[in-house]
Amino acid sequence: MNLSTLNSVYFVGIGGIGMSALAQWFHEAGLFVAGYDKTPSDITSALEALGICVSFSDEVDAIPHEIKADIEKTLIVYTPAIPSTHLGLKYFFCNNFEVVKRSQALGILVKDKNSIAVAGTHGKTSVSSTLAYILSCTKLSCSAFIGGVVKKLKGNVVINPESELVVVEADEFDRSFLTLYPQIAIITAIDADHLDIYKNKEQIVEAFEQFVAQVKPGGKVIIKKGVPLDYSVNNKVTYYTYSITEKADFYTSNIHNDDGEYCFNLVTPVGTVKDLRLGAPGLYNLENAVAALAAAILSGADTNELLIALRSYNGVKRRFDIQIQSSKITLIDDYAHHPAEIEACVNSVKHQYPNKKITGIFQPHLFTRTRDFASEFAESLDLLDELILMPIYPAREKPIEGVTSHIIFDKMNLDNKIICEYNEVEQAVLAVDSDIYLIMGAGDIDRIVQPIKEKLLKKYNISE
């Protein structure tokens, strides 16, 4: 694919968080950009506001003329979440357009850049968001493609043609991250997940080791201490570990909470950075910030600039995203959709709000993930004081016989738990008196966060 000869780019699944970032990059580069998505969303509205044409029909007639007119100078980018029966996608394949997956397009965009790729079965969005923000506040600056909306940046993409440094979120789904050859790689976790793609955890570990093997000679690999990885897969790089619980190459000391902010010192291979303050709440955000700081320091960022940037950073949407904070109640929205993520999220809530009643509202994501990790989901959700469990969000999958939310529900030891339909959740939340309301899930549960927030504000007579 020769980017210099392109006039137009069409995205099949443009409303996805990763796809929309690429769409904005090509639009900023001056190309004609259009795309399809299943339903309107805040992301598609933001794209349309930029002048990007978005269609919600998969009919061929909905594809703009500019895309059809010049096959040789048009690129089609699609996400694996789009079914093969999609009429527009079939049209592009049948008419010899150049069609690539999102991961391939990202790999080509950043191949000649000094890239920092953030990988891990969880934590990668929080790390890449933190890193992109704090670097953008330094003289180094950066571009970035992120899998979440950074509040301070008001978006999921940073475009800075003047900087050779680019932060990318490296997704293990569909082995997408194997299109990347970074200068620095961060690995936050390697847990069993996506067992519809990988047969077992061993295959996931193998994929991550292949990713590490692709780090450029002379590069660096930053890995959470204790994550299983064979360092011999790439002996031309330098390895660094990080932790907030034990000594590592980068680790925290003197952690304490001061008026909702985590304050800490960061011990590094070249000395200690003192009196850091993290503006984003949540203990897991602190751990992710350590990984981001390690990458920024190893990239040559000035530590004084990082001190200022980290305190002003206030997080990414749907990652320990506090919607209501009052003396009466707290409402938190989080993307947690894997048992390890739920455990980290609930424990972060308990750490920040000790001795408070926590009511969780959880929407399982994917039939296969629910089937494969039902026991683990039950165990992590048992950490709550009360649970409102929703039906499974299918995303790209078709139903699997016998796989429903009940297989999690029935394995739980928690007494205070109910299952209710999507349209019943708001009333179920209102019927509960709690200290902390914790919304978790990666499906369309995000669409009821605002209605729940409004109803809780009214119930408890809280002014925003």
SS3 state at 5: helix
Domain contains 84: yes
In the β-sheet with 74-78, what is the strand arrangement from edge to edge?
53-55, 32-36, 8-12, 74-78, 98-101
CB atoms within 10 A of CB 335: 25
SS3 128: helix
E-state strands within 68-128: 74-78, 98-101, 114-119
Domain extent at residue 171: 111-312
In a domain, 106, yes or no: no
pLDDT at residue number 273 = 96
Domain's final residue, options 60, 82, 101: 101
Residue 143 counted as domain residue: yes
Distance from C-alpha of 128 to C-alpha of 361, rounded to nearest angstrom: 26
Half-sphere exposure in the Cβ direction for 405 (13 Å, CA): 21
Which runs of consecutive H residues, i.e. helices, occur in 150-254?
201-213
- If one counts every other C-beta atom within 10 angstroms of the C-beta of residue 90, the result is 13
**Rounded CA gap, 99 and 88, in Å?**
12
pTM exceeds 0.95, yes or no: no
CB-count burial class (<10 Å; 0-12, 13-18, 19+) for 277:
middle
My answer on whether 307 and 328 are in the same domain is no
- 61-64: Cβ within 8 A, 24+ apart: 62/36, 62/88, 63/10, 63/34, 63/36, 63/88, 63/91, 64/10, 64/32, 64/34
Tell me, yes or no, whether 292 lies in a domain: yes
Task: Looking at the structure, tell me whether residues 193 and 287 fall in a common domain.
Answer: yes
CATH value at residue 442? 3.90.190.20
Which tokens belong to 349? 């809530």
Tens of pLDDT, residues 253-305: 999 988 778 999 999 999 999 999 998 888 889 999 999 999 999 999 999 99
How far is 249 from 298, CA to CA, in rounded Å? 12
Quickly list DSSP for 364-415.
-B-HHHHHHTHHHHHHHHTTSSEEEE-PPB-TTPPP-TT-STHHHHTT---S
Q: Are residues 123 and 77 part of one domain?
A: no
- What's the confidence (pLDDT) of residue 1? 61
- pLDDT for 195: 66
8, 116: one domain: no
Tell me the two tokens of residue 163: 């900087």
| DSSP states along 333-347 | EE---SHHHHHHHHH
- Is 464 part of a structural domain of the chain? no
Last residue within a domain, chosen from 312, 335, 356 = 312
CATH number at residue 244: 3.40.1190.10
Are 210 and 345 within one domain?
no
Whether residue 183 is found in the same domain as residue 149: yes
- 382: in domain: yes
Which residue(s) pair with 74 in the sheet?
8
347 and 230 share one domain: no
C-beta separation of 178 from 214 below 8 A = yes
Which ranges of the chain have pLDDT less than 50? none
For the chain, what is the domain count? 3
378 inside domain: yes
Gap between the Cα atoms of 39 and 55, Å rounded: 9
Residue 446 lies in a domain: yes
Determine which helix (DSSP H) or strand (DSSP E) holds 190, and give its type and residue range.
none
Q: What is the pLDDT of residues 343-390, one digit of tens each?
A: 999 999 999 999 999 999 999 999 999 999 999 999 999 999 999 999
Residues 81 and 136 in one domain: no
Are residues 284 and 214 both part of a single domain? yes
One domain, residues 173 and 302: yes
Asked whether residue 166 falls in the same domain as residue 306, the answer is yes
First to last CA, the chain: 50
Q: Are 231 and 136 found together in one domain?
A: yes
Which among 41, 70, 101 is the end of a domain? Answer: 101
